[in-house]
Amino acid sequence: MLYGLDVVFIVPFVVYFFPHIILDAVIRTMFRDNPRLAQPSRYVFSASGVVVESSAGRSDLNWSIYQRVWETPDYFLLYTGQRTAGALPKRYFSSEEDIRAFRELLRSSVSGRVELQS
């Protein structure tokens, strides 16, 4: 009967916790390997697009650049390519209401696949 008990504990770990551990490790490695990513940036999201400002410059992006959006418990991942995504931590939002409003903006603005938690 030990086999059944192993499955009860291992399957939830592999399905839920393992992807989060890998995602966090990948994001940490990206920041460690590219110090420019750690510079402060300001993002402004609106119906017309995304504005990104940092000490390196300013970018005005159309929503069409985002092919896919995936929400995890801690991040919004905005994919610009099959394996390239920007990670927007939820802790950067002021309130749960701001997160809900951002979800609605994503639903109405991104024409690609949008996978949100609620």
For all residues of the chain together, what is the average pLDDT? 83
Count CA atoms closer than 13 A to 32's CA, side-chain side: 6
In the predicted model, is pLDDT for residue 41 greater than 90?
no
In the predicted model, is pLDDT for residue 113 greater than 90?
yes
The tokens for 27 are 């994001």
* Count of helix runs (H) and strand runs (E) in the chain: 3, 7
Q: Is residue 85 helix, strand or coil?
A: strand
Q: Among 53-57, 59-63, 89-93, whose mean pLDDT is lowest? A: 53-57
Question: By percentage, how much of the chain surpasses pLDDT 90?
Answer: 52
Question: Which of 110, 47, 108 has its CA nearest to residue 79?
Answer: 110
* φ, ψ of residue 79 in degrees (nearest 5): -85, 130
Read off the amino acid at residue 54: S
pLDDT of residue 84: 87
Q: Among 14-18, 44-48, 83-87, whose mean pLDDT is lowest? A: 14-18
Read off the amino acid at residue 22: I
If one compares 37 and 32, the residue with the highest pLDDT of the two is: 32
| H or E element that contains 104 | helix 96-109
